[in-house]
Amino acid sequence: MSLLTCIGFLLFLFFLNIGNSTLAIIGLIAFYLLVIVSGILLFFDLGGSEYKLFKKSRLVLGLGFSFLYLLTSSYAASYFMQISNMDIGDSPLLELGLKITYFIFFALMLLQPLSYMFFLYISDKLKIPQVIIGISIVLITTITLFLVPRWSTNVIVLVFDWATQSEWRTFVSCGQEKISYPQERYYGFNIEKYTVYFSDRNGEWGFEELQCPEDDNELIRIPISKSNMPKWFQS
C-alpha cells in the first residue's frame, strides 16, 4: 500500500507537469483513496500495539471531535440563517449536508498539525512502509488544508444543489399564477412567503424571498443574498 501511494502521488506530479489536468486529478484522487485505506490499516495496527500514547489519544480525539461537531453545527446554522433568512432545521437534508461539511472543514484544520506532531513523535518506532504512509497522511492533510479556503464555497454550493434538488419544490403558486425555473428551488407550499435558492442563474447563486400578497396574484421577489458562481480552477 505504501508503494502504491508513492506511485499515485508521482503520477499526479507527472501529469500535472505535462499539463494534463484531467489525469493529474485522477492521480490525486487515487493517491487520496490509497492513503485513506492504508492509513486506516496503519491505525488499526497501531491500536493493537504497545503504543500507549495512541490508545490514550483515541479517547481524547473522540471527545474533542464530538465537541467540535457541536461547535461547527452552530456556525453552520448561523451561516445559513444569514444568507437565507431561514432556519436550517426546517430543511433536514440540507441541515445534515451543511453541518457535516462545516465539521470536515474545521476537523481538517486540526488534523494537519495533530497528524504532523503524532507521526513526528513515533516515526523512529515505525517501519519504513509505515513511515511512508505517515508522511502521506501528513501530505494529504496539508494539501487539503491548502485547498479548503479556496474551494469551501464550491463544496457548499454543491451541498445546496444536492439538498434542495432532493428536498425542495420545483414550482410555486400564487393565486392563479404558477412559476418554475430550472435554476431555482422553492421552500414552502401554498403560503404567502417562499424561500428561493437559485444556482448558476446568470452566473450567480444565492437566496431570495418570494411574497404572495393575499389580494394580489403577482409574486414579489425580495433579494436576500447572492454571490458569483465559484470556479474549481481559475485560469
Look at the block and give the residue holding cell 447572492.
226
CA-closest candidate to residue 186, choices 217, 204, 154, 212: 212
Look over the chain and give the mean of its residue pLDDT values, rounded to a whole number: 81
Amino acid 49: pLDDT: 58
Number of residues assigned to the chain:
235
Q: Is the pLDDT of residue 53 over 80?
A: no
Instruction: Look at residue 50 in the predicted model and tell me its pLDDT.
Output: 56
| pLDDT (average), residues 142-147 | 78
In angstroms, rounded to a whole number, what is the distance separating the alpha carbons of residues 89 and 103? Answer: 17
Residue 205: DSSP 8-state: E
Residue 21 reports pLDDT greater than 80 = no
- Separation of alpha carbons 83 and 156, rounded Å: 12
Residue 140 has pLDDT above 70, yes or no: yes
Q: Is 101 exposed, middle or buried (0-12, 13-18, 19+ CB in 10 A)?
A: middle
Q: Check pLDDT > 60 for residue 234.
A: no
Q: Output phi, psi for 229, to 5 deg.
A: -60, 130
Taking residues 59-76, report their average pLDDT: 83
Determine the average pLDDT of the residues in 74-81: 92
Q: With H, G, I as helix, E, B as strand and everything else as coil, classify residue 203.
A: coil
Stated as kind and residue range, the H or E segment containing 177 is strand 177-179
Least confident of 57-61, 84-88, 128-132, 162-166: 57-61
pLDDT interval class at 51 (50, 70, 90): low
Measured in degrees and rounded to the nearest 5, phi and psi for residue 183 equal: -85, 0
Number of neighbours of residue 139 by Cβ within 10 angstroms: 15
pLDDT at 88 over 60: yes
For residues 31-59, average pLDDT: 71
Inter-CA distances, 40 with 44, 128, 134, Å: 6, 17, 11
Greater pLDDT, 141 or 208: 208
Helix (H, G, I), strand (E, B) or coil at 223: strand
Q: Is the pLDDT of residue 132 over 70?
A: yes
Question: What pTM, to 2 d.p., does this model score?
Answer: 0.74
% pLDDT > 70, the chain: 88
Distance CA 39, CA 229 (A): 35
**pLDDT of 217:** 61
The answer to whether residue 58 scores a pLDDT higher than 80 is no
Return the pLDDT at 235.
Answer: 42
Would you state the cell numbers that stand for residue 107, as one nine-digit string? 476537523
